[in-house]
Amino acid sequence: MRGRGRAGLMPAEWEEHKAIWLSWPHDAVSFAGALAQVERTYVRIISEIHKTEIVNLFVPDSAMREHALALLKKGGVDLSRVRVRVQDYADVWIRDYGPTFVRRSDGALAMVRWDFNAWGGKYKELLKDGRIFDHVEQEMGIPCKRPGMVLEGGAFDVNGRGALLTTEQCLLNKNRNPGLGRADIEAKLREFLGAEKILWLKEGVAGDDTDGHIDDVARFVAPSACVCAVEDDSSDENYGPLKENFESLCRMSDQEGRPLEVLRLPMPEPLIGPAGRLPASYANFYIGNGVVLAPVFGCRRDEDALRVIERAFAGRRIAPIPCRELLYGLGTIHCASQQQPSASTSGRPAHPPWRAPS
C-alpha cells in the first residue's frame, strides 16, 4: 500500500493514543541539583495526561517506585491509570531510546527499533538506556523492525500522511551513520516510517546537544501545517539559522504537493544553565488526547507562545507545564515522552482540529 512501507506508517501525534511512555527522573547530576523541582514537573505532566491516556512509567528500582507513586498520589493522580515498570536506566529521554510505534495497513501496531548511540557517542554511560526498548518489546509482543540505523525519536516529526520533517545537522551528522548518505537515510525513512516526502531543514537551536533535533525547531500541527520556532532578536545566535528554517518551510509542500501553512512560534529569551546556553524551545510540546502539554519557562514570551499553540490546536485544551528545571537536562516534554497510538480497525488517520492562519 502506498506510503505504508514494510514496517508501517507512523501516525501523526495528534491521532488517538492508547498510552504515553515516560521514565521517572532520578539523577540529581543531570538536573543540576534541581531534582525535586523536576519531580514536581513530572507529577504535573502525569496529572494532566493520565485522564485521557494510560501512563506507562519506568522507574529504576523498587524504592523509586514507592517514592514516585507517593508523589503522584499526593498530586491527585488516579494510580489505577499509571502502570509502573522497574528497569534500570540512566536518563529520562525515552523518545530517543525507546520504541517508535507505527501502524500497519491492517490497523495493528508494530514498533521500530533504531540503534541508539547516545547522541553521537557523547555519553557512553547512557548507552544502557537502550534496555528500555527490550522491556517494551518483551511486554507488548508486537512485530518489531530493526533498520540498522542510528536515529533518535526527537530527530523527526511526521504528519501521518507521508511527510516527514528533520534536519541535516542531525541525520547527516557523521557521528550517527558515517556509512550512509542522504539517499540511504531517506530510503530507511521510507521503508520503516512510511515517509513519502522528507522535508529537510538545516540546523537546530543553540545549546542542543542532540545536534539539531527537529522537535525544538518545527512541528506538524495538521496534515499541511506546522509551527516553526523563530527568533526576532537579530543579535541572538538562533536568529540566522531559525530564519533560514522558517523561510525554507514557507517554500515547502506536503506529500501531495499542497503548500505548507507555517505559523511563527516565538523562542523564549536565552536561558543559561550551569554548562551554558540551554536548548529552550516552545516547540517541544506533546500532543495528547484532547490536551497539549506545552513547556513554559517563566519567560516574558511564554504567553505569546501559548497563544500560537492554542491557535494551532483549537479543539484541544492547552496545559502549560513549567520546564525551566527539566531543561537543565537539555530537553523538555516531547523529549521525555513517547506516544503509543491506538490500534485502528480502519487504519485511517483522524484529522486534528485546525484553524487556518488568517
Domain boundaries, the chain: 17-341
CA 137, 140, 143 angle in degrees (round to 5)? Answer: 65
pLDDT for position 348: 47
The pLDDT of residue 344 is 76
Per-residue model confidence (pLDDT) at position 290: 94
CB 46 within 8 A of CB 39: no
- pLDDT value of position 2: 37
d(CA 296, CA 318): 11
Instruction: Give dist(CA 234, CA 58) in Å, integer.
Output: 42
The answer to whether 57 touches 84, Cβ cutoff 8 Å, is yes
CATH top-level class for 17-341? alpha beta
Round to whole Å and give the CA distance between 286 and 219: 10
Pairwise CA distance, residues 271 & 276, whole Å: 8
End-to-end Cα separation, the chain, in angstroms:
36
Q: Which residues pair with 19 in a beta bridge?
A: 54, 340
pLDDT of residue 352: 54
Measured in degrees and rounded to the nearest 5, phi and psi for residue 198 equal: -105, 125
Angle between helices 62-74 and 35-49 (to 10 degrees): 60
| Grid cell digits, residue 152 | 533518535
Catalytic residues: 335
What are the phi and psi torsion angles at 236 (to 5°)? -80, 145
pTM for this prediction = 0.95
Q: Which of 355, 273, 345, 342 is nearest to 314 (CA)?
A: 355
**Mean pLDDT of successive 10-residue stretches along the chain, which has 358 residues:** 64 98 95 96 98 97 98 98 97 98 95 97 92 95 97 98 98 97 98 98 98 98 98 98 98 98 98 94 98 98 98 96 97 98 65 46
Burial class of residue 18, CB neighbours in 10 A (0-12, 13-18, 19+): middle
Q: Is 279 helix (H, G, I), strand (E, B) or coil?
A: coil
- DSSP track, 28-68: TTTTTT-HHHHHHHHHHHHHHHTTTSEEEEEESSHHHHHHH
Return d(Cα 32, Cα 165) in angstroms, integer.
32
Place of cell 513554559: 296
Of 305, 291, 349, 340, give the one whose Cα is nearest residue 44.
Answer: 291
Please tell me the predicted confidence (pLDDT) of residue 357. Answer: 41
Cβ atoms within 10 A of the Cβ of 125, count? 9
Give 296's Cβ-side CA count (13 Å radius). 21
- Listed in order, strand segments (DSSP E) in the chain are 17-23, 54-59, 82-86, 100-103, 109-112, 144-145, 156-158, 163-167, 197-201, 218-222, 225-230, 261-266, 272-273, 276-277, 286-287, 291-296, 317-322, 337-341
Closest CA to 167 of 178, 180, 179, 152: 152
